[in-house]
Amino acid sequence: MIDVHELTKRYGAKSAVDGLSFTVRPGRVTGFLGPNGAGKSTTMRMILGLDAPTSGSALVGGRAYAELAAPLRTVGSLLDAKGVHGGRSAYAHLAGMAAGSGIPRSRVDEVLREVGLDPATARRRTNGFSLGMGQRLGIAAALLGDPAVLILDEPVNGLDTEGIRWIRELMKSLAAEGRTVFLSSHLMSELELTADHLVVIGRGRLLADAPMREFIESHSGGQTLVRGPEPERLRELLRAAGGRVSLDARGGWLVDGLATAAIGELASRHGVALHELTPRLSSLEEVYTAMAGATGEYRAEVAR
């Protein structure tokens, strides 16, 4: 478990992280979301003891990272896939990490297989690796100590479609084993598919801490998708009842202003058949964009 309490990091008069508190629990994938400059990377660095907080605390399993007896066996992390000596091979990089932490050499071969780096590739110098190969090596390093906690910053960056699907299933399987999985990503469509829980920050402050579905449902616009064999009659009926009706790109009508149950009852009373009656939830990207716009904190100015 990761426990962040009133965590603050200031650089002079500027606060990169400002009184941030949240808990990342085992058994689920927790997504960490926020715009560039929101304080995500700084928060992760403080959890890992790479930056010292101005005040507050960030604990892993009840201890500060510097107090962990065997850090690699407790926490696996990926903050920068390029943080590898380019003249060393992937195998040598992992073998050195293993030796320094008392991890059996056999574990190196296991994680290389797990991330899909074949023996020939693993013996190559890493300065010739593609971005995707570097990401796989970084994930292998995070998994090396078989840790209970994983902290990953943009783990799908540079991966192809197969690689993105692989990391998604890997994160879910690790959480299912009871591990604590904490990851950030700017690919919100992928984060929506991967994460069970969501922590959202902006300008170093907490904006939301909720289960993914609850977060989306509570911030969705409340529209309902309605389809039937008599679309024009259905539209007039909905408008007469006070609904705001617009055409959905996939066919049917999107209705605002009427609850889903009320639409079903209305159609039943008037003998109008329905083929579909579905509450339309916004995507994570739509919800987050609306939240950011509402706060007025992250609007980009267009040069003219």
Give me the pLDDT at residue 293, please: 61
At position 166, the amino acid (one-letter code) is W
Contacts 24+ apart (CB under 8 A), 260-266: 260/224, 263/224, 263/226, 263/238, 266/237, 266/238, 266/241
pLDDT digit of tens for each residue in the chain (304 aa)?
999 999 999 999 999 999 999 999 999 999 999 888 889 999 999 999 999 999 999 999 999 999 999 999 999 999 987 778 889 999 999 999 999 999 999 999 999 999 999 999 999 999 989 888 899 999 999 999 999 999 999 998 878 888 899 999 999 999 999 999 999 988 888 899 999 999 999 889 999 999 998 898 877 767 899 999 999 999 999 999 999 999 988 889 999 888 889 999 999 999 999 999 988 878 888 888 877 665 545 544 434 3
Residue ranges of domains in the chain: 2-217, 221-280
CATH superfamily, region 2-217: P-loop containing nucleotide triphosphate hydrolases (3.40.50.300)
- Does the domain at 221-280 match CATH 3.30.70? Answer given as yes
Question: 132: closest CA among 110, 109, 98, 165?
Answer: 165
Give me the pLDDT at residue 282, please: 80
What's the whole-model pTM score?
0.81
